[in-house]
Amino acid sequence: MKSECVIETERLTRYFGRKQIVRDLDLNVPRGSVFGFLGRNGSGKTTTIRMLLGLLPPTRGRSKV
Is the pLDDT at 47 greater than 60? The verdict is: yes
CA separation for the pair 2, 44 (Å, rounded): 24
Is the pLDDT at 1 greater than 60? The verdict is: no
- Total domains in the chain come to 1
Question: Which CATH number covers residue 39?
Answer: 3.40.50.300
The pLDDT, as a whole number, for residue 3 is 59
Sequence-distant (6+) residues with CB within 8 A of 22 are 12, 13, 14, 44, 47, 48, 51, 58
Q: Give the range of the structural domain holding residue 55, as residue numbers without chain letter.
A: 5-64
State the average pLDDT over residues 35-43: 93
